[in-house]
Structure 1
Amino acid sequence: MLPWTHAAFGYILLLAIVLLFGRRLSRAELIAVVVGTQFADVIDKPLAWWFNAVPSGRSLGHSLLFAIPLTAVVVAIAWYRRHPGIGFAFGFGYLTHLVGDTYAAVYYWRTEEFTFLLWPILPPYPYDDFVGFGGFVDGLEVTTSTLVLFTAAATVGVAFLVHFSRAPWWDTHRS
């Protein structure tokens, strides 16, 4: 998935779950879910593509051995600061990123592609080479599929901005 589709995927799923329970998302929770959806790539892509410090663009930040403890720390800090929803939104966004990176492998049941989830115990699946950000942008092709995904993500982005502009920072019933 591309960054904007990760963001759209996590935001829509969290919004659907929250609305199902009759709750509203705060602005801080909206920001947290979007940050969570990008976090794995923000760690791995620069470390792999620019610094060659990890073996793949899906290794450290995409590993459950890193993601679960980090999410637990974020949730604990948010809980301590009396904003547990922010921690859970971050963790949910992070989880949706990992799901977004594995859905095709699950669909086609290519289990060898799941190894990045347990890096460094298992080797990461070699899905990418060192390309750098410029190489990544140069490699993007304008296809019907890309345009549909971009349009869908842009629509969700507009909905996010509308939602963000109207969502309260905290519950208005607080004294």
Structure 2
Amino acid sequence: MWPWEHLAFAYVLYSLTTNVVFRRSPSAGETIAIAVGSQFPDLLDKPLAWTIGITETGYSVGHSIFVAPFICLAAYAVAARLGNRTLASAFSVALVSHPIADILNRVLRGEVVDPRIVLWPIASPPVGSQSGFIDHFRRYFFRYVHHLLTDGLTPQVAFQSLLGLSVVAIWLFDGAPVAADLWRAWRDRSRQ
């Protein structure tokens, strides 16, 4: 999945949870924690594999179901120190949603799901291309654009479209966290 898809998926999950269970919308801080948590597995794993070459694939430490609890505990410790434990909840939901979204994306594309993408260090998926980060991005991006332009409305494209519309609607319903806060800060500052 692309970074914006991970962000959208994580935001929808977290927002629906907070709105249904706690009867409140995510704050700006929680929204930022969602953004960081939803990208964290790829920000950790892709450079380790594609740029530095420490791991074999872009699915290792950050995507691991064995490492995720420790990352969530570290997030909790940081959030507790900041005095806002809900930030850890937002980060953790987004972090855990990332590999789930990767698996769901493969299902929607009709591909075989390889459970090894979440089983590091016990197992790792087969090694793919050993090219660098830019080469990987370029290959995946052009494949994605080609898929959008030639394959028509597939289950994956339908899901992505529905997810995009959902996240915009839910974000606006939530009061446009982050954007609204920045707007208020700018407006208050310009009045001074």
- TM-score for the superposition, normalised by structure 1: 0.79
Unaligned segments of structure 2, at least 5 residues? 183-192
Change (3 A) 1:132 1:147: farther
Taking the aligned partners of 2:126 and 2:165, their CA distance within structure 1 comes to 30
Query: Percent same amino acid at aligned positions?
Result: 28
Which has the higher mean CA deviation after the structures are superposed, 67-76 or 46-55? 67-76
**1:1-175 counterparts in 2 under 5 A?**
1-20=1-20, 21-104=22-105, 110=112, 113-122=114-123, 124-126=124-126, 128-139=128-139, 140-141=141-142, 142=145, 143-144=148-149, 149=160, 153=164, 156=167, 159=171, 162-166=176-180
- TM-score for the superposition, normalised by structure 2: 0.72
- Root-mean-square deviation over aligned CA pairs: 3.1
Which has the higher mean CA deviation after the structures are superposed, 63-72 or 44-53? 63-72
Cα deviation code 1:84-124 (max 9, x no counterpart): 1000100000001011112256677956x1123221122x1
Change (3 A) 1:154 1:22: closer
- How many residues align? The count is 166
Matching residue of 2:189: none
Change (3 A) 1:128 1:10: farther
Taking the aligned partners of 1:164 and 1:154, their CA distance within structure 2 comes to 19
Taking the aligned partners of 2:135 and 2:168, their CA distance within structure 1 comes to 25
Rg comparison, structure with higher value: 2
Which has the higher mean CA deviation after the structures are superposed, 95-104 or 136-145? 136-145
Taking the aligned partners of 1:152 and 1:100, their CA distance within structure 2 comes to 12
Change (3 A) 1:155 1:106: closer
Q: After TM superposition, give the deviation of residue 40 of structure 1 in Å.
A: 0.4
Taking the aligned partners of 1:4 and 1:38, their CA distance within structure 2 comes to 9
Unaligned segments of structure 1, at least 5 residues? 169-175
